[in-house]
Amino acid sequence: MKSKFLRGITHGIPICLGYLSVSFGFGILAVKAGLSVFQASVISAANLTSAGQKAGLDVIAAGGAIIEMILLQLTINIRYSLMALSLSQKLDKRFTTPHRLLASYGITDEIFAVCSAQKEPLTPAYMYGMIFIAAVGWVTGTALGAAAGELLPAAVSTAMEIVLYGMFIAIVIPPAKKQHGVLFAAVIAAALSVMFKFAVPALSEGFAMMISAIASALLTALIFPVKDEEGEAEAV
């Protein structure tokens, strides 16, 4: 078990380093929104989701309603449920229900990618090791960023905020170059967000983000449908 745990930590170190730098930006944004270093760190420890935390932070800063926060997080983070279902096919027999519930805390995009690439069944110890080191990087980066946000000059803090947005751009650009649907969805979502910002200022940022995400996803699915392998084979 110990060797599996250490192997998970080893595979999770690159994720940890990436999270350390990205969450630094979230920490700065959290402090600017009025949260303390402790509050920002607790959010990162409890959530472990960059996009969800950034969106949730906007709702908190705007004084949004609880139902807005719930719906927004459901819209943004529902993909993790699909990732969990996919990984369930690769789990070792030692993955009992309690282990599944514990491991579900740490299913992020990066951890899912690394776990999916493993050829042997996933053990609880392996996933715990990876989740542990990744969470350490995420929470530590948040705490450091929040602390720096309280000490650094405003101009420097503002410049460092771009780290989190840079990560989002880095996620979208590679697949957008290969798939027109991804680029279309990103452009439509951005256009709708801008429209809501200036044309419907009374609409809160949380609901504007939800509507933009859902509308762009639906339009993309209609215009750029993805054919399954069976359909493609029949077409050939």
Gap between the Cα atoms of 27 and 35, Å rounded: 9
For the chain, the C-alpha Rg in angstroms (whole number) is: 19
Strand partners, 122: 91
Tokens standing for 92? 């070792």
Give 217-223 contacts, CB < 8 A, sequence gap 24+: 217/185, 219/184, 219/185, 219/188, 220/181, 220/184, 220/185, 220/188, 223/181, 223/184
Pseudo-torsion of CA 170, 175, 178, 181, nearest 10°? -120
List the domain boundaries for the chain.
Answer: 2-167, 179-228
> What digits encode the pLDDT tens for the residues 219-228?
988 888 876 6
| Confidence at residue 233, expressed as pLDDT on a 0 to 100 scale | 39
Question: Quick one: average pLDDT of 57-78?
Answer: 87
Q: Which of 136, 131, 186, 142 is nearest to 23 (CA)?
A: 142
The whole-number average pLDDT for the span 84-99 is: 90
Give the number of other Cβ atoms within 10 Å of residue 3's Cβ.
10
Segment 68-76 mean pLDDT: 87
Could you please report the per-residue DSSP string of 127-138?
HHHHHHHHHHHH
What percentage of the chain reaches a pLDDT higher than 70? 89
Q: What pLDDT does 161 receive?
A: 65
pLDDT digits (tens, 9 = 90+) for 9-22: 999 999 999 899 88
Which of 73, 70, 38, 33 is closest to 55 using CA atoms? 73
How does pLDDT run across 92-147, given as a tens digit for each residue?
A: 998 999 999 999 999 998 899 899 889 899 999 999 999 999 999 999 999 999 99
* 151-170 pLDDT per residue, tens: 877 767 666 667 667 766 77
Mean pLDDT of the chain: 85
pLDDT at 1: 65
Q: What is the pLDDT, as a whole number, of residue 136? A: 96
Cβ atoms 49, 22 nearer than 8 A = no
